[in-house]
Amino acid sequence: HAGLPEDGLAEAVRRRLALMPLWTRAYVGASAWAARWAAPLAFLGRLAPLERLSPRERERLLAKLIGARPAIRGLFLGARAVVLAACYAPAAPPAPPRRAAGEPAAKPSRSRASYDVIVAGSGAGGCAAAGRLAELGARVLLVETGVRAASPPDAFEAVLRYYAHGGFWSPTGNCLMPVPTGRALGGTTTINSGTCLDPPVELLAGWERESRGAFEAAEFGGLLAEARRRLGARRAPPETASVSSTLFLRGAASLGWPNAGYLDRAETSCSGRGRCCFVCPDGAKTTADRAFLEPLAGRPELTLATGVSLESFRPAERRGGPVRVRLRGPDGAASVSCRALILACGALTTPYFVRRQRLGAGWRSAGDGLSVHPAAKLFALFDERVEGWKGVPQGAGCLDPELPGLRYEGVSTPLEIAAMTLPLEGRALREWMDRYERVATFGLMAADSGRGKIRYPAGPRFPWVRYDLHPADTFRLSAGILRLARLFFAAGASRVLAPFVTAPNDFGGADALRRRDPKATRPGELQLMAFHPLGTCAMGRVAGWDQRLAEGVYVSDGSAVPGPLGVNPQMTIYALGLRLAERLARGSRPAA
């Protein structure tokens, strides 16, 4: 694809494989074997390796693989991702690690075996709770499995280093839909776009009614405002907007879509590098650790331990009694105790501990009720130079004026990531890649109607998730893709590549979109990702409305959110962390 010599490509692939955990390397190896040997026989009836097929046969085979059933396509995409990312990666040395000035203590003190609070996980909910409790005088230990992230020049390297499972993890179900989450200090806030959207007020009012007042919408509104203040959330300025966002707003104005505009985000002095999701190279994005931990530099109340994970614990046997906690880090296992343990491991991991320890009356429901935002993105070709990988990625967006629960938001797709995600193969893929400087990208996501579940037959590191895309969401996403395509044609696009893995998906004009019937789309035909996993230890079902799971054990992450939000969830999770911290500090524990 990129004209690399064979030995240079092989070395680039080896470097990326070296960053992967063992199971991921095994998956990529199986993927390569299947593409080379099994696929020619299964799809073409040829008992020959891939490299011995004629160019026309290879083209046919690759087209069949990209449009195959989700399980088969998922196997093929492993090797495809590694090779294409290596072909299109920038030639630049690795970035040196960035350390924040005045970072809190790097590991627990060996002289202290007891803390007031231990927080497991440094995402939005974990950092907010830990930082606020330390401000209020509690002795807090915050443990994070990952490390502090540094921004590499290669976006795919950032994925391999700082995304959970190297970005190669997807639920089983009726579609292929990877779920990216962060594995670094700051959790997913280190790899998100920094977008700050409050939950709908009617949703908060519904939680208040459902909880019979245990959840107070007015109080939560104040906590959202406090989180915004700490994050420095502000409207993305037009001067750092991507050309993709500008074209989206042009198309929205042409079609008369109301409320399309720039979005609020957590940043200071952003230069529009377009790398938010691959670790901000300038440190301009306000992540959870920057907002809540760095202001506590030098304070003895907060101890931070990176590269350390929660292994097990035993809840308190009586109110006010100690919680016994076992941690594991580079130096081995350590046993500590605390008065309160806060689980902030994320919606995909926290349920493991709830189920293992049988926390509370609702423990059997932990892992059920998984809600995500199924999402897709399309590519639009213009006559003008776009450079869609530059500028604030998620700087603009809006709700669909006709499809409830569907939201459009910008994305930034660097060259090496685009090569992996374009739903094309062979010469068609190369044609789009050769014109990529003139391509705009934009995304959409749905508040899901279906629910998934998560279990842990092999422990917390290897969760099994089942999620089937609901028919209503399949239609909304398909219809939204076509509506977004019309918007970009209204903005002046000459071609649009839509996220369908089967033809037709490459459209030369708005009239050509009639060839796609959104009602006829099957879930497996959509090229999707799923963002913002929530609800697996939901308040009112698994946790109490006070976020309590058991005596001395609480939850402060997306798993506690009772259902889909329809907006990016970091503001909601930050506010949940502050809410829990205030209540623990007051010693208040309202009835659930």
**Domains of the chain in sequence order:** 1-88 (no CATH), 114-167+181-232+295-365+537-586 (3.50.50.60)
Mean pLDDT value of segment 125-129: 99
Mean pLDDT value of segment 374-389: 98
Mean pLDDT value of segment 393-408: 97
pLDDT of residue 4: 57
pLDDT of residue 93: 47
Among 19-33, 84-98, 127-141, 308-322, which stretch is predicted with the lowest mean pLDDT? 84-98
Mean pLDDT of the chain: 94
CB 392 within 8 A of CB 410: yes
121, pLDDT greater than 50: yes
Among 98-112, 417-431, 537-551, which stretch is predicted with the lowest mean pLDDT? 98-112
Judging by DSSP bridges, how do beta strands 495-497 and 371-381 pair with one another?
antiparallel
pLDDT of residue 247: 98
Among 96-100, 479-483, 527-531, which stretch is predicted with the lowest mean pLDDT? 96-100
Q: How far are the Cα atoms of 55, 179, 186, 370, 533 from residue 373, in angstroms, in the given order?
A: 39, 10, 21, 10, 7
With a pLDDT cut of 70, the percent of the chain lying above it is 94
Mean pLDDT value of segment 474-490: 99
Q: How far are the Cα atoms of 153, 211, 370, 447, 455 from residue 469, in angstroms, in the given order?
A: 34, 29, 12, 11, 18
pLDDT of residue 96: 43
Mean pLDDT value of segment 361-372: 98
215, pLDDT greater than 90: yes
pLDDT digits (tens, 9 = 90+) for 532-580: 999 999 999 999 999 999 999 999 999 999 999 999 999 999 999 999 9
pLDDT digits (tens, 9 = 90+) for 160-200: 999 999 998 999 999 999 999 999 999 999 999 999 999 99
pLDDT of residue 589: 44
Could you give the maximum distance between any two Cα atoms of the chain, in Å?
A: 72
289, pLDDT greater than 70: yes
What sections of 34-177 are H helices per DSSP? 39-44, 55-66, 70-88, 124-135, 155-162
Mean pLDDT value of segment 106-114: 64
pLDDT of residue 90: 83
Q: Which two tokens stand for residue 533?
A: 């996993």
Among 204-208, 225-229, 585-589, which stretch is predicted with the lowest mean pLDDT? 585-589
pLDDT of residue 8: 81
Nearest by Cα to 190 from 308, 104, 284: 284
Measured CA to CA, the distance from residue 508 to residue 51 in angstroms comes to 33
141, pLDDT greater than 50: yes
pLDDT of residue 5: 63
CB 180 within 8 A of CB 374: no
Whole-model pTM?
A: 0.95
pLDDT digits (tens, 9 = 90+) for 233-269: 999 999 999 999 999 999 999 999 999 999 999 999 8
